[in-house]
Structure 1
Amino acid sequence: MDTAGPQVCDDMTVEVALSVMASARTGHLLVCDNDGLCTGRVTQAQLAAVRDSSAYTDRVQLRDILGNCGPFTSPVTTRTEAEHTMRYRRLDGLPVVDEQGSALGILALAG
């Protein structure tokens, strides 16, 4: 498991999130609500697609594009279960959250 990496609030705009990604040299951000609970994960590709869409405005916030929360996994999930979820949902990363919903890290498939 990798560290959670950059965590940002869900009221951040897409442009600012892309800047944070560029500064942190990462391809994803974990998104948290005002209580610090992990609400999702966004990738550079997702944000670029939103920014390049005809419906985009500079007021679009991360909470506007997250959709349903998850998927997440917990520290007690087996590696096999986590890998199955990632492969089935075609995910390159899966956030790990504790019982309260705080981000602990992210699982990534080995290349």
Structure 2
Amino acid sequence: MTLGQLQDRAVSARPSHDTVIDVMDAAGPQVWYDMTVEVALSVMAAARAGHLVVCDEDARCVGLVTQARLTAVRDSSEYTDRIRLGDIIDGSEFFVSPLVTREEAEEAVPVGRLELVPVVDNHGSALGVLALSR
């Protein structure tokens, strides 16, 4: 097979629809859900990150927290130094598959949710983060 034949076969008349894996960002720092808010803020500052992916004891992604959310928790009147990330992850977190298109992912996540959504594999491991265009 010549190079010309390879190029001819690679050309497609269909428009390409990028999957989430093609447009996602790196997951960034991953931390355990039993970490305190203060420690999480320190990790975030040291990593110069705007978010943390929160994982359970089996390294499955259970959510994502932003600096704004952690700061709001720390500054609230109910705050104590015993509050852990698992206490502020409410179980209604949304995740997307790396195999869906960006359009499908944006349609699936309700308006008003975080602008960053974890991308997870079939085992719940974080592969990256999708920034929604809202």
Fold match (TM-score > 0.5): yes
How far apart, CA to CA, are the structure 2 residues paired with 1:89 and 1:71?
12
Match of 2:49 in 1: 26
Mapped to 2, the partners of 1:110 and 1:46 lie a distance apart of 19
Question: Which residue of structure 2 lines up, in the alignment, with residue 57 of structure 1?
Answer: 80
TM-score (norm 1): 0.92
Which range is displaced more, 2-11 or 101-110? Answer: 101-110
- Following TM superposition, the consecutive aligned residue runs of length 4 or more in structure 1 with deviations greater than 6 angstroms are none
Give the corresponding residue for 1:47.
Answer: 70
Identical aligned residues as a percent:
63
Unaligned runs of 5+ residues in structure 1 are: none
TM-superposed deviation, 1:68: 1.3
| Cα distance, 1:81 vs structure 2 | 1.4
Structure 1 position 16 matched with structure 2 position 36: no
Deviations 1:33-88 (A, max 9, x none): 00000000001111011101111111100000100142000011111012234572
Further displaced range: 9-18 or 61-70:
61-70
* Worse-matched range after superposition: 79-88 or 30-39: 79-88
SS in 1 for 2:122: coil
Per-residue deviation, 1:108: 1.0
Compute the displacement of 1:90 (Å). 4.0
Alpha-carbon distance in structure 2 between the residues aligned to 1:43 and 1:73: 18
